[in-house]
Chain A
């Protein structure tokens, strides 16, 4: 094998102190997938508990901790950093045609901040008794002198800085390190999505820091801010929390949308439809996402005027999201569609994300939200968007760039793990829509007997889903040792990362790449000898 970034240097320190964006991306990948595994096992314990209405497996306090840890780890340690930190770090500079990100040291610092933030956040939940779910609303989270919530916000803030560093790096890299010919509108749409995400990371995260400072001021100085016993307002905490956490929802989903644009175009072998609409819809989503946080609070006692305004603004986000889906479908039109594993994930994404998005309309509408708020309907909705959306897109992206990252091909046959994931996911979470519309409240350790059949269906679905994910883990790891060597361009992608070898050399490109239209597939043809695509038309025909 040629010298590449994996073999360029050896030893623990060559990884721990690396400034190579590809290695940092891989370290992020291992870190976030470990978090996914841990929080996923917790989810399975939760679902196992819900096989029957009573308290069977764990007691109430344990359940509440599990539920909190599942949410907090999934959101803050896994989904938020997953695509930007792992895939974005690896792919973004190569896609752009750059040798690295603008600030490689900041990039490494971001990884270590993630580690520190993870330790503080999880440690304070485990030790400080935060059990109110990942939203840790006051005054419950401050009751009886609990300080876990401060540790938790501190952890989230540090994790936030980790993503600010990543975001800042990406913004500067995209502005400053584009090679000649890489104009804004020749950038692959993945970069547009990551760029919009980075702006959100930089602008929204400071608010969680302000919240933490206010919590500390309240605890230490006794100033009434959120605690009604001191004259504070608990609803104010919700405003602060969601002012950060709603944009955070789009920090999670925008990179997912961005990956899907790449997958649909490549596997349809067709120029993306409506490039500029997709690009600007990412930016529009980022901007609108700052203005809709109140839709988490329609039953909180907020004034009806505020509720009305937030409801109207919420719908403004739905339009650019719908536009993306229509554009992807139009891209498939008259294409040449292959159903390799990444594309299966992309198609599953469209299916699941459409359900996730449409059910959001029930929740954005005020009177129906009153019934559905804080029930399993909301749980199902955000799992369809976060897991059916972001995680499925991430898995699609992981399969797409796996040969590039590892230099190995996985077995396409085992890609049917995707089918298990798809079926299991729908069984798990579609049933939760029904639970919620029938009035089953969320965050319940035990539940009323009439909900048992649906709960059981959901639990069985989750075991199928888990089986699918373990199959995926197994064949991906297996490919590292037994997989075929990957060609430079196994899927026929036209973006720049497919121009360099798999895995890429230490400095990405031995020869400066020529920048063209990232979705022009006309001069690519399949080469059966290498199993990849090459860019001389008709050379092997």
Chain B
């Protein structure tokens, strides 16, 4: 009831609490529009009600003459609303740009949508699903407080939309392209009087095998119709107490580098004939498929021997790129090693690329980023093992 009363007074009762840095700006404009709407609604209905009573048809009362047009008054009520609209438009646009332009220092998290689940992939390669499952207590989108976080959105199948009401952010997820949203959410101790939660019973703890960790939880919805289970394609955003607590909470349990993924990749690798050229660890005659994480590299456009050397950040993107077009980025130490016969071939462009070899005849298995992602995760897991040795 209290909430119902509050809802007469604009955003405080009508919107969820503003729990990100950009939410306040949106809510301010919402209230600005709301009060103008209330003003005009009350004005129109009051005038209508008054005329209904004052000029009701009754004995001894007829219509009285009055002008049936008046240019001045028409201009007044055309021009005044036009003027009132201009700042609303302007603030709406500037607020939209603020929601749209992510700051440069964002922590990036990938969110991959498919029917009917979200998969969150963190910078260190860990992945989590959107719902708690029996296999793993780890799920949801975990972020540190007070940090600018950018979510890179992609879809494996149809349109989805990524929506966090408490943060006032929403972005469609479009197959075939990347879109993104960003936000910066604070952490408020659930025990403190300043703590506000929406929904009222939102979890305040996230339990892992390392213990219970305080979180602020926010709902995450899919808001573009995507089929049968559209309405259950939701999740939670967990804002942890601090970066350290976040790392501690997820330490060891977060399936680093996507083990589930890597396992699938291991099973799939044989079907891709990887082993006809590659070994798990480098041998003289075969190009290594692991160990890439240690190297800096040179970038080369295909067919050019004199391409400029660049520093390559070796990681998931590098492995992916090397599968797609193995010669595009070669490590200098490989090229300079005369004992590497394949390095010569690579330089000559004698190698299979994903586009011309692997896809052919095998399109279904590689279709979607899923198949390829599993292989990449598998190769990265090899790196990690080696690094650990």
Task: Give the B-binding residues of A (Cβ under 8 A).
Answer: 60-61, 64, 131-133, 137, 139-140, 143, 228-229, 231, 233-235, 268-277, 298-301, 304, 307-308, 311-312, 315, 318-319, 322-323, 325-327, 329-330, 332-339, 347, 350-351, 354-355, 358-359, 361-362, 364-371, 373-375, 433-434, 437-439, 441-450, 519, 521
**Least CB separation from A315: chain B residue:** B85
- Identify the closest chain A residue to B86 (Cβ): A315
- Tell me, in angstroms, the Cα distance from A449 to B169 when the chains sit together: 22
Which single member of A64, A299, A322, A521 contacts B161 (CB below 8 Å)? A299
Which residues from chain A contact B198 at a C-beta distance below 8 Å? 438-439, 450
Inter-chain contact A367/B91, CB cutoff 8 Å: yes
Q: How far is the CB of B277 from chain A (nearest CB, A)?
A: 30
Contact residue among B44, B88, B229 (Cβ-Cβ distance under 8 Å from A325): B44
Kindly state the separation between the CA atoms of A374 and B34 in the bound complex, as whole angstroms: 19
User: Which of B63, B81, B234 has its CB near the most chain A CB atoms (within 10 A)?
Assistant: B63
Can you name 18 A-B pairs with beta carbons within 8 Å?
Answer: A64-B230, A140-B158, A140-B226, A233-B176, A270-B63, A275-B68, A298-B96, A301-B174, A318-B85, A322-B77, A336-B57, A354-B40, A359-B37, A362-B30, A365-B33, A371-B15, A439-B16, A449-B199
Contact B157–A143 (Cβ < 8 Å): yes
B51, A438: Cβ atoms under 8 Å?
no
Cross-chain contact A441 with B61 (CB below 8 angstroms) = no
Q: Which of B62, B96, B231 contacts A307 (CB 8 A)?
A: B96
Q: Are A60 and B228 within 8 A (Cβ)?
A: yes
Residues in chain A near residue B81, CB distance under 8 A: 318-319, 322
With A and B bound together, what is the CA distance between A361 and B24 in angstroms?
A: 19
Q: Which of B217-225, B237-245, B251-259 binds A? A: B217-225
Q: Find A133's partner among B45, B48, B225 (CB 8 Å cutoff).
A: B225
Give the residues in chain A near B47, CB-CB below 8 Å.
Answer: 329
Rank and list the top 5 A-B pairs by shortest CB-CB distance, nearest first: A439-B165, A367-B95, A228-B176, A365-B92, A366-B96
Q: Which residues of A contact B33 (CB under 8 A)?
A: 361-362, 365, 368
- Report the minimum CB–CB distance from B169 to chain A (whole Å): 7
**Are A332 and B91 within 8 A (Cβ)?**
no
Query: Once the chains bind, are A228 and B175 in contact (CB under 8 Å)?
Result: yes
Which chain A positions have C-beta within 8 A of B169?
370-371
Residues of A within 8 A of B61 (CB): 336
Q: Which of B42-85 contact A (CB under 8 A)?
A: 44-45, 47-48, 51-52, 55-57, 61-66, 68-70, 73-74, 77-78, 81-82, 85
Chain B: how many interface residues by the 8 Å CB criterion? Answer: 86
Contacts of A337 in B (CB 8 A): 51-52, 55-57
Do A333 and B66 contact each other (CB < 8 Å), given the known contacts A361-B37, A374-B170, A374-B223? yes
* Contact A326 to B55, CB < 8 A, known contacts A365-B92, A370-B170, A371-B170: no
Asked whether any CB of chain A lies closer than 8 Å to the CB of B227, the reply is yes
Cβ distance B222 to chain A, nearest Cβ, rounded Å? 7
In the complex with contacts A60-B229, A228-B175, A301-B172, A338-B57 CB distance below 8 A: yes
A455 to chain B, nearest CB (A): 13
Contact in complex: B66, A137 (CB < 8 Å): no
Given A332-B52, A351-B48, does the pair A450, B89 have CB atoms closer than 8 Å?
no
* In-complex Cβ contact of A439 among B44, B221, B226 (8 A): B221
| Known A275-B68, A448-B199; contact A347-B52, beta-carbon cutoff 8 A | yes
Contacts of B25 in A (CB 8 A): 367
Whether B92 pairs with A367 at a CB distance below 8 angstroms is yes
Q: Which of B73, B223, B227 contacts A375 (CB 8 A)?
A: B223
- Taking a contact as CB atoms under 8 Å apart, the answer to whether B29 and A367 are in contact is yes
Contact between chains at A374 and B224 (CB < 8 Å): yes
Residues of A within 8 A of B210 (CB): none
Give the interface centre of B169, B176, B219 by most chain A CB atoms within 10 Å: B176
A450 touches B92 (CB 8 A): no
- Shortest A385–chain B CB gap in Å is 14
